[in-house]
Structure 1
Amino acid sequence: MAKPASRSAKRGGSSIFTGVLIGLIVGAVLAVAVAVWVTGSIPFKNDGEAVRRTPAPAAPATPEPAPSFDFYKVLPGGAPDELPSAEPAAVRPIYYLQAGAFQNPADADNLKAQLALLGVEAVIQTSDVADKGVFHRVRVGPFDAPADAERTRALLAENDISATLVKELPTQQETP
């Protein structure tokens, strides 16, 4: 006949609690020891030294007045007479190379792909031309100077792609 299980095997849970408690105590002692070693002072010693190290509370200071800003003094130039004029600046033209204009959008995509294989980035602009219908322009650019556009035009000419230089003046926006 089998013997009933002993009670000592059932009380294994208390040994886990004891181990956790011992671990917490050892950890706390080690943390205090490291803190004492790093700071070089004993935090639990009360000889009045810790009280002398803390600075005395400062007397309440009067708040400084808020700075006063004058709008015209903040601006560069200083005076209202020297404000920038409202005259429009000289408009610089923007240059593009137009490699083609097609009514069929697939033709425009094909030319854009050919240019991409050459390492030239192009865009397709769709516009409605009066009495002619919708055209898809393949343009390269923008360029700031005609000399920059001419270098790209020479690369396109080497690959049998003709391009026309297009000069556009940017539209002036009305300032409030």
Structure 2
Amino acid sequence: MDASASSAAPDPAPVPRAPGPGLPHAPAPASRPRRLAAPVGVMAAVVAAFGYVAAVDPNEPGHYPVCPLLRFTGVFCPGCGGLRSAHAFAHGDIPAALGSNALAVVGYAVFAVVWLTWTVRVSRGLPPRPSVAPAWWWGAGALLLVFTVIRNLPFGAALAP
């Protein structure tokens, strides 16, 4: 064994250098208006979509396509009645919105809470995405499945659009 190989000193730690030409700079924190651009854009798209559905009545035939699952199988999907629900909700008729698709109305409330949380976090400069445990996603999927099954059974006719 070579003596010089075992007695070699470790490389010294790199000396920090000030940023200069050709060296990367730390990104500047985004301004509040720039941070709020995404939540405001999402809300603008949602308002535009609800505005369109409010103006173009889904209860009139020919304005929107028919649900393919309902058309070919006669089974209501979890979204069946969603446009009628959004139309009624946009006009302030909450009982009619619940009658068309109760789960969609719950979804509007969940969206509002998530959007508000996102907007507040981004406004304060916090990371925009809080972590969501997989159990919540599985629970949401199970809720959709149960809602779909019940609204297609005779005793769940009240949930059908």
TM-score bracket, normalised by the shorter chain, equals under 0.3
TM-score (norm 1): 0.25
State the TM-score, normalizing by the size of structure 2. Answer: 0.26
Q: Which has the higher strand share?
A: 1
